[in-house]
Amino acid sequence: MSPEELQVATNRVVGMKETKKALEQGRATRVYVARDAEEAVVRPVIELSEEKSVPVVYVTSMARLGRVCGIAVGAATAAIAD
């Protein structure tokens, strides 16, 4: 599982709120978390992913995750959704 899968995904969500919403709605199939994001910020998404049995992929940095998602700023989390 690599961040490049997220880059080509047709249905993705970017950011904490959208990732959490996709998880809560049962739409997230894979979650991406930046390693340099603050632990307190991403912990709820990681815990919800584990609770919902959604795989978590760690990306080296927020900047890289943002680039992969096609945005000009960093992103703490993103997800592939159904």
CATH number, domain with residue 16: 3.30.1330.30
Confidence of residue 1 (pLDDT cuts 50, 70, 90): low
CA dist., res. 55 & res. 58, Å (int): 10
What domain range includes position 20? Answer: 3-81
The pLDDT of residue 2: 73
pLDDT range class, residue 27, cuts 50, 70, 90 = very high
Domain total of the chain: 1
pLDDT value of residue 5: 86
| pLDDT mean across residues, the chain | 94
Confidence of residue 72 (pLDDT cuts 50, 70, 90): very high
CA distance 46 to 51: 9
